[in-house]
Amino acid sequence: MSSFERTVELLMQEEVICNTAYSAEFAFLNDNIKRSEVDVFLRRINRSVAKTSDNLGYLMVYNDLSDSNRKRRVTAQFKKIEGEMATLVEWLRFARNIDANSNPISAGERITESELLAAIDVVTAACRAADRYLQQAWPPSQSP
């Protein structure tokens, strides 16, 4: 199967093509001429290739959402992504504690087991402290 075919198939399967998951297809789309060829092909079916806002991924998008069926399909895609991403977002929020400055993790960044365990200890200690505080402060005092 050619690079063009693999790339178009991934896009048609609603995959986001990034360097981490699909390095060959990502490199293919980074070539302006090849991306233009894919875009011309997709435009025949009212779609095109778009870059993510951080320029680290490519995805297929509709060119026109005026049709109600397309709107429903896009809404369903967002709901599916939202459901799939909720757990990942929670994990990323947790993993952000690994960095002293609470910087988010980037693609390809490595996290060591010791960093992860240290973050778990910090979060666990913070949860225990919050629990103790709430037990002392609850119920709130009633002031006249």
> pLDDT tens-digit profile of 22-41?
999 999 999 999 999 999 99
Q: Residue 144 pLDDT more than 80?
A: no
117-129: pLDDT as tens digits: 877 787 788 788 8
Report the run of H or E that residue 50 belongs to, with start and end: strand 47-51
Q: What is the pLDDT of residues 34-75, one digit of tens each?
A: 999 999 999 999 999 999 988 999 999 988 888 888 888 888
pLDDT the model gives residue 114: 84
Give the model's pLDDT for residue 108: 74
User: At 141, is the pLDDT very low, low, confident or very high (cuts 50, 70, 90)?
Assistant: low
Q: Which residues contact 28 (CB under 8 A, 6 or more apart)?
A: 3, 4, 7, 34, 35
Q: Which two tokens stand for residue 129?
A: 């402290």
Which has more confidence, 127 or 98? 127
Q: How far apart are CA 143 and CA 68, in angstroms?
A: 56
Q: Which residues contact residue 42 at a Cβ distance below 8 angstroms, ignoring those fewer than 6 apart?
A: 8, 11, 48, 49, 60
Cα 21 to Cα 47: distance, rounded to the nearest angstrom: 22
Q: In the predicted model, is pLDDT for residue 13 greater than 90?
A: yes
Threshold 0.85, pTM exceeds: no
- Quote the mean pLDDT of the chain: 85
